[in-house]
Structure 1
Amino acid sequence: MNLRPRKPKPKEEDLYEQAIVVWKPKSTRKPKSSKKRKAKDESKSLITSSTSTSTSTSSVSIIENNEEEAIVVSKPKPQSRKRKAKDESENLIASSSSSPVSIIQNEVKLVVRKSLIKSKRKSKKTEKMEVDTDESVCLEMDSEEENEDDKIVIKGEVLNFKPVKNVQRKGKSRSSKSSNLKKKLKRTVLDSECRLYGEPILDVEAWQRWPHRYVEKVNKDKYAASTSSKTKNENDEEEEDLIVKRHYKQAKLYDIIYDLGDDVFVQGDNGSEDYIGRIVEFFETTDKRAFFTARWFFRAEDTVISKSNASLVDKKRLFYSDYKNDNPLDCITSKINIVKVLPNVDLVAKKETIPSNCDFYYDMEYSESYSTFSNLKPVSSEPSLSVTSNTVSDIARSKSEKTEKSNMKLLDLYAGCGGMSTGLCLGAAVSGVNLTPSWAVDFNRFACQSLRENHPTSQVRNETAENFLMVLKEWLKLCMKYSLLGTKRLEAQHSLVINDKEDEGDDDAPTPSDVFEVEKLLEITYGDPNKKNEIGLYFKVRWKGYGPEDDTWEPLTGLMECPERVQEFVTRGYHESILPLPGDVDVICGGPPCQGISGFNRFRNKAEPLKDEKNHQVVVFMDIVEFLKPRYVLMENVVDLLKFSKGFLGRYAIGRLVSLDYQARLGLMAAGGYGIPQFRMRVFLWGALPTEVLPAYPLPTHQVVKRGVVPLEFERNTVAHDTADHQLHLKSAVILSDAIMDLPPVTNDESRDQIPYGNTPETDLQKYLRCSKQKLMGINASEASSPVLYDHLPYKLNQDDFDRVCRVPKRKGANFRDLGGLVFGNNNKVELDPSVERDLLNSGKPVVPDYALSWKDGLSTEPFGRLWWDETVPTVVTRAQPHNRVITHPEQDRVLSVRENARLQGFPDYYKLSGPVKERYIQIGNAVAVPVARALGHALAVAHRRIGGDHPLLELPSHLKI
């Protein structure tokens, strides 16, 4: 939005020209130059001639005081426009000539107010007035011809003025609204209704408060001389350098006095909504122009949330900013009442703190730097405003208590095999925080098996996120029913566990054939576990006298006959924290899948992305955040989140966090920048309660080969998008050989889940990946790594594909185009060679398959392509078939193994995966790169311990650089 404010609409009674005659005695006059005396004499003759032909129709009154006399001339309002205004000026001259004042008419000053006739008011650099006399004359105002009330003074001559149309500065509008708030407005304010008011601020005080405005007099004069000769280009969007003469505390616009610190509407551009700012300066320039400096407020639609998701945020809620610029005084339209309130995730309680009579309120500030919504920073240099006195329960927590707390609980949603939670915990651990993956949720049962294998203390739930949210709500009701909320959880949790041998030896125990009796409840879930289309709350029941193979899922309504067993299970579950309650979770992380935005989906709903069920998981993720109210949130997703439908889903996600009163920050990170041989750009959205420090993004440690495209609007959200700003000393990019060259050779038929290493590690990355879990967590640095290598087995190719791979040369850049029988046309498009017979495999199928020829219209070099040792991969994928991916090993006739893919993702070798080989590839391909999550874990620990600042970026310590 182009910030080109116009003057406020004038009152109807002001829409005509007015004239006031003012007389001062000689003792108060300053000596005039000969040039001005000449103008004065000419003016006297003009007045004499004019008065001889005019008749007086105005009344005159004389006001006396010790220093001066003034003739105040009043006249009736004109009933027509310019012509009548001119006639009334002539009548005024006649009236003046017939009054006693005509004796001293050489001492008369005529102050002519600017015409306020309705017209479009546009920006201009100088105010010019046309003169209605016998000849057409255009006068430009002299700075010395302006009195202390900023009125236009012409000496000796009564003239009729009409304003020349302003010249508007042309130029392209900025792409984003928030950027336009920083635009310089080039308009002059010389209207007598818009002026600085009161005495100027003393120079000493002004220099202390605004030192950047004042320079040494010599330098100022030199600067003024050098800039006065410069010609400004009308299309130049750069801000004008103003040379300040003095500051004021007040201004008066249309009979309204404005003070420093007042919040105001500023006229919008081309009929758009008025902008909102806070006045932080009033000043006059050396060329007698009046300006104010505004520090801007943002509406939700002016931020990254945009109009598409602005409805998520209260219309009266604003966001303060650091953006300021100077504007002509007449850009102000009116005062408004903006109240500062305290943020509160209890939105009902917060609403009660907002005064009903305020126009707007604000509780956060917004910065375009990584699209950051954060707590307000104290601003001592600006006038303080009222703050609601109500205390907020969340802010009442003791900060000292939080800094002392070193244990944090993590909930991993859409956890997969646990890449994000694993990395976060590793990074936090070496940075002084014990982050525990207490709960994890995923719909893939094989991923859940991998989670249990590597995080045995976690409560891993194999269910959808929607059902997880429903069971959380039901669990809260049960805990309330049995009055458990607020009670201290017992540390000796094992004492509450009912073991399988309980009740053994009871001679009266019924046999299975007699009756079914509930021995104990084992699990709780929400959904339809029995696949009978009966959705509800269910418990897994162990029947007395039966084994685990006979366990069944029973609805809560079917357990009404044994309420003591339900209470027993709920009590035990509460103390063991089998499910989190609101306030239990410190961190929620996860990457909600959004298949609806995939480029492979031909039926994407671009108009209303959230109505696509495939995009609904981002809503569910935020619903869980809203219910549990964790202290920190970290959401990960693909870059298409910001590409599809103008970034609608990404804007929705950050808008939901802000609507819940979370601080938020949006960044993009390339995995290769943190020490692994793949690019893999991903979106990471931080969220933090207002009681916490908003975590930063860790700066990269390695160079990376850039692949893919980031949306232009979010380009500056890329972490270290301009490394020159940070003077980074980046290590060389990690290549394929750095990650996997030490692994033993395997064949296409390899089926062993674990094999010995055979070789010793050579590179820093190889040594790091072989470390034990305890060593990586900083618990036991001397512990030796395991001699066993897990998951080093490839997806087994069928015989035809294996034969094709064997024919691909073992050299850099080799692919299906090296299989023969092909010709290459324009743009290197591949086609079959019609001059030779098509080569066939032993199975009778062609060596070069049709799908390879048609992939990307015959322009691709990917099918059956070999990676090479000095290369990196764009991204690790979930499918290991070589049909349309470069995934073949450089020197072995197979695709990269599960372990090799895991290493490209930065998974340590101790991390063991579960499920069929195909499922393991899916788990690795969907995971967050562990080194990226590890770096983010360090940033989380720094924020939690409050040892960093509020900058959006931080540098990793040396022990975290691979």
Structure 2
Amino acid sequence: MSLKYIDLFAGAGGLSEGFIRAGFDPVAHVEMDKAACYTLQTRVAYHHLKSQNRFHEYVSYLKGEISRADLYSRIPTELLSSVINHPVGAESNPIIHKAIEKQLKGDQVDLIIGGPPCQAYSLAGRARSKNGMKGDKRNYLYVQYGKYLEKYKPKMFVFENVLGLLSAGKGVYLENMRKLFLKKGYAMKVFRLEANDFGVLQNRKRIIIIGWKNELNIEVPDLEAIKMLTAHTVQSLFSDLPKIQAGEGSRYLKYSSKTNEYLSGKAIRNGIEILTQHIARPHSDQDKEIYRIAVKKWNNEGTRLNYNDLPERLKTHQNRESFMDRFKVVAQDEPFSQTVVAHIAKDGHYYIHPDIEQNRSLSIREAARLQSFPDDYFFEGVKDGINRTPAFKQIGNAVPPLMAYEIAKILKVFL
């Protein structure tokens, strides 16, 4: 008997991918972003075709031999309909519930996973907002989460968000969350986790809240005690990728070398022999000159570039007192990179490739690998084809599948 779950605020499906890998069965993914929903449907297609020994059809899609519409035509409509493109909220909830009921067919929901958009709780989001995000509807999406707990009565839930949730509203939001979930019949425990403790080669701190029905009376293990440290460095993620310049890349390429222990062991390079979405954004000559300076400073001196140290002719920002590290190299000799965030969709200045010969920011695939997505994971845009901006945004907002997988394995014991 499979363990069934609903993924709310699913994004590109990073959290869900970890649970599927651990043997859980998704009932539905609920997501408001259309591009992310196409990504989720493409992943549904991947899992279905693989289970039917028709993986070659998925590979044909990756190569661009068949269109997205053609790919989806080969998948049962019922499966594609499990991806529900609506925002969680009072207006859409009846539509979402109806779609979920069709998928459930009377079965019980064992688990609800997901976390509301983080802008309302993140320090960066509050800093950019004129009133510190006060009154923003996203502050209260946890109330909707509580309604789904009340309706589907799962045994447990997993709520993911940014560290800023601890301090948002001086802790009031988190405390109100605790009270609300308790009222719905759930106890909860808050964990501050670091992705690199789960084998992800990225410095990514997040809050994970594990909740369970009061009557279960279980003792959740201390997730903060998990230390799956690895001797590998970021170079392990880049070593088999062909060298490309700014603005170069293709829908699919061949790997430049064999896999390595990290890529195989963490199921990132997992048997598929074509490399997809290794595509870099173009850069201006000025940006590329700055990138070269930043890479030289790091590779030769081990120091980061301070914006004020640039020649005056290269300084175009008026702000000279904050964000001095706006140009940052992803150091290949470090055990983990800086945090990959959605801003990578706007520019690549904070994610400069360490190879000065390539002189560019990270490709879509490199960013996905830092998040521990497997190479056969394809990130869609609204239009069929390669769309850099939505792909980068989805990757930056995701939960690392590797981290999700380790958490899912632990929760599976209780369920």
Normalising by structure 1, we get a TM-score of 0.36
- State the partner residue of 2:308: 830
User: Counterpart of 2:3 in structure 1: which amino acid?
Assistant: M
* Offset from partner CA, 1:442-491 (integer Å, 9 cap, x none): 11111001100012335001111114423256x4xxxxxxxxxxxxxxxx
User: Counterpart of 1:747 in structure 2: which amino acid?
Assistant: Q
Shift in Å, 1:654: 2.1
* Offset from partner CA, 1:805-862 (integer Å, 9 cap, x none): 3454444346655xxxxxxxxxxx93787xxxx5xxxxxxx323235x62517xx2x2
Shift in Å, 1:612: 3.0
Q: Does 1:917 align with 2:384?
A: no
Q: Does 1:621 align with 2:145?
A: yes
Change (3 A) 1:907 1:644: same
- State the partner residue of 1:749: 247
Q: Pairwise mapping of residues 341-356 of structure 1 onto structure 2 (< 5 A)?
A: none
- State the partner residue of 1:760: 258
Secondary structure of the corresponding residue to residue 392 of structure 2: helix
Contact 2:327 2:351 in 1 (8 A): yes
Cα distance in 2 for residues equivalent to 1:604 and 1:686: 31
- Picking from 257, 267, 288, the partner of 1:769 is 267
User: Counterpart of 2:391 in structure 1: which amino acid?
Assistant: R
| RMSD over equivalenced CA pairs, Å | 2.9
Contact 1:597 1:641 in 2 (8 A): yes
Change (3 A) 1:886 1:612: closer
Q: Does 1:737 align with 2:332?
A: no
User: Counterpart of 2:315 in structure 1: which amino acid?
Assistant: V
* Offset from partner CA, 1:577-598 (integer Å, 9 cap, x none): 24x5886422111110142333
Shift in Å, 1:692: 4.0
Cα distance in 2 for residues equivalent to 1:936 and 1:651: 24
Secondary structure of the corresponding residue to residue 341 of structure 2: coil
* Offset from partner CA, 1:6-38 (integer Å, 9 cap, x none): xxxxxxxxxxxxxxxxxxxxxxxxxxxxxxxxx
Cα distance in 2 for residues equivalent to 1:455 and 1:733: 34
Q: Pairwise mapping of residues 366-405 of structure 1 onto structure 2 (< 5 A)?
A: none
* Offset from partner CA, 1:205-240 (integer Å, 9 cap, x none): xxxxxxxxxxxxxxxxxxxxxxxxxxxxxxxxxxxx
- State the partner residue of 2:342: 878
- State the partner residue of 2:19: 424
User: Counterpart of 1:413 in structure 2: which amino acid?
Assistant: L
Shift in Å, 1:786: 1.0
Q: Pairwise mapping of residues 266-345 of structure 1 onto structure 2 (< 5 A)?
A: none
Q: Does 1:676 align with 2:299?
A: no
Cα distance in 2 for residues equivalent to 1:582 and 1:629: 13
- Picking from 159, 165, 186, the partner of 1:641 is 165
Contact 1:863 1:882 in 2 (8 A): no
Shift in Å, 1:911: 1.2
Q: Pairwise mapping of residues 150-549 of structure 1 onto structure 2 (< 5 A)?
A: 406-427=1-22, 429=23, 435-456=24-45, 457=79, 459-466=82-89, 467-472=91-96, 475=98
User: Counterpart of 1:830 in structure 2: which amino acid?
Assistant: N
- Picking from 314, 327, 330, the partner of 1:847 is 314
Change (3 A) 1:441 1:882: closer
Change (3 A) 1:668 1:743: same
- Picking from 786, 795, 801, the partner of 2:272 is 786
Change (3 A) 1:582 1:760: same
Cα distance in 2 for residues equivalent to 1:807 and 1:867: 14
Contact 2:122 2:165 in 1 (8 A): no
Q: Pairwise mapping of residues 920-959 of structure 1 onto structure 2 (< 5 A)?
A: 920-944=391-415
Change (3 A) 1:679 1:663: same
Cα distance in 2 for residues equivalent to 1:669 and 1:644: 18
Cα distance in 1 for residues equivalent to 2:209 and 2:277: 32
Cα distance in 2 for residues equivalent to 1:594 and 1:868: 27
Cα distance in 1 for residues equivalent to 2:333 and 2:128: 34
Cα distance in 2 for residues equivalent to 1:910 and 1:831: 41
Shift in Å, 1:744: 1.7
Q: Pairwise mapping of residues 569-584 of structure 1 onto structure 2 (< 5 A)?
A: 577-578=102-103, 580=104, 584=108
Cα distance in 2 for residues equivalent to 1:898 and 1:797: 15
Contact 2:193 2:207 in 1 (8 A): yes
Cα distance in 2 for residues equivalent to 1:453 and 1:919: 15
Contact 2:348 2:361 in 1 (8 A): no
Cα distance in 2 for residues equivalent to 1:940 and 1:880: 32
Secondary structure of the corresponding residue to residue 278 of structure 2: coil
Cα distance in 2 for residues equivalent to 1:865 and 1:595: 23
Cα distance in 2 for residues equivalent to 1:734 and 1:832: 32
Cα distance in 2 for residues equivalent to 1:873 and 1:855: 24
Change (3 A) 1:446 1:632: same
Higher strand share: 1
Q: Does 1:890 align with 2:414?
A: no
* Offset from partner CA, 1:150-172 (integer Å, 9 cap, x none): xxxxxxxxxxxxxxxxxxxxxxx
Cα distance in 2 for residues equivalent to 1:689 and 1:582: 20
Secondary structure of the corresponding residue to residue 167 of structure 2: helix
- State the partner residue of 2:72: none
- State the partner residue of 1:802: 288
Contact 1:698 1:936 in 2 (8 A): no
- State the partner residue of 1:8: none
Shift in Å, 1:755: 0.9
Shift in Å, 1:883: 6.8
Secondary structure of the corresponding residue to residue 260 of structure 2: coil
User: Counterpart of 1:471 in structure 2: which amino acid?
Assistant: I
- State the partner residue of 1:186: none
- State the partner residue of 2:68: none
Counting aligned pairs with the same residue, the percent is 25
Shift in Å, 1:765: 3.6
Q: Pairwise mapping of residues 11-26 of structure 1 onto structure 2 (< 5 A)?
A: none
Cα distance in 2 for residues equivalent to 1:464 and 1:904: 28
Higher helix share: 2
- State the partner residue of 1:655: 179
Secondary structure of the corresponding residue to residue 157 of structure 2: strand
Higher Rg? 1
Shift in Å, 1:647: 1.7
Cα distance in 1 for residues equivalent to 2:411 and 2:257: 36
* Offset from partner CA, 1:560-583 (integer Å, 9 cap, x none): xxxxxxxxxxxxx96xx24x5886
User: Counterpart of 2:180 in structure 1: which amino acid?
Assistant: R
Secondary structure of the corresponding residue to residue 425 of structure 1: helix
Shift in Å, 1:634: 0.8
* Offset from partner CA, 1:751-803 (integer Å, 9 cap, x none): 4111111211223245533454xxxxxxxxxxxx1111112112332444234
Of structures 1 and 2, the one with the larger relative CO (CA 8 A, separation 6+) is 2
Contact 2:266 2:402 in 1 (8 A): no
- Picking from 352, 362, 367, the partner of 1:901 is 367
Secondary structure of the corresponding residue to residue 279 of structure 2: coil
* Offset from partner CA, 1:113-160 (integer Å, 9 cap, x none): xxxxxxxxxxxxxxxxxxxxxxxxxxxxxxxxxxxxxxxxxxxxxxxx
Cα distance in 2 for residues equivalent to 1:766 and 1:584: 35
Shift in Å, 1:632: 1.8
Shift in Å, 1:864: 2.7
